């Protein structure tokens, strides 16, 4: 029987991670009014430790945030957590993973995500005031 905290130190099989993202994740592109885009990966689960294991296995610096919804609090549901991958460095790791182990359910979303990522890394970031 696993003890609390055991899963956090466990490296996960990358095929498992792809399947988990296919089922529990969202890959999308945020579009800003000024035309900028930002690809992101969000993975939701009530088990924070599995998200910690994914983060550790993929060597991500991305945060794991608690998702608070009023209806969940009212109905006393288990807390939900979100692994939020948005930095270029971490998105590159996700792209590398998806290129090696293709998602099945989210294959079309990934194609759009990859195109957006390719554009995103080529466009220099403009600083405010320039």
31-64 burial, b if ≥16 CB within 10 A, otherwise e? eeeeeeebbbbbbebeebbbbbbbbebbebebeb
Assigned superfamily of 7-122 = Homing endonucleases (3.10.28.10)
Name the token pair of 76. Answer: 């006393």
Token code pair at residue 91:
């998105």
Beta strands in the chain, from DSSP E residues, in sequence order: 25-31, 37-45, 64-67, 80-85
Of the listed ranges 1-10, 35-44, 106-115, the least confidently predicted one is 1-10
Residues 6+ apart with CB under 8 A from 69: 80
How many CB atoms are closer than 10 A to CB 8? 14
Q: Delimit the domains of the chain by residue range.
A: 7-122
Residue-wise pLDDT for 66-107, tens only, equals 987 666 656 667 888 999 999 999 999 999 999 999 899 999
- pTM for this one? 0.80
């Amino acid at each position: 029987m696993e003890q609390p905290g055991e899963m956090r130190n466990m490296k996960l099989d990358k095929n498992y991670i792809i399947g988990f993202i296919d089922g529990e994740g969202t890959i999308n592109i945020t579009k800003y009014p000024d035309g900028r885009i930002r690809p992101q990966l969000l993975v939701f689960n009530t088990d924070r430790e599995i998200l910690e294991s994914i983060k550790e296995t993929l060597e991500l610096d991305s945060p794991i945030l608690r998702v608070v919804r009023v209806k969940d609090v009212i109905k006393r549901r288990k807390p939900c957590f979100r692994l939020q991958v948005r930095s270029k460095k971490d998105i590159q790791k996700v792209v590398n993973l998806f290129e090696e182990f293709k998602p099945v359910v989210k294959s079309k979303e990934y194609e759009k995500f990859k195109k957006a990522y390719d554009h995103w890394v080529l466009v220099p970031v403009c600083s405010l005031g320039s």
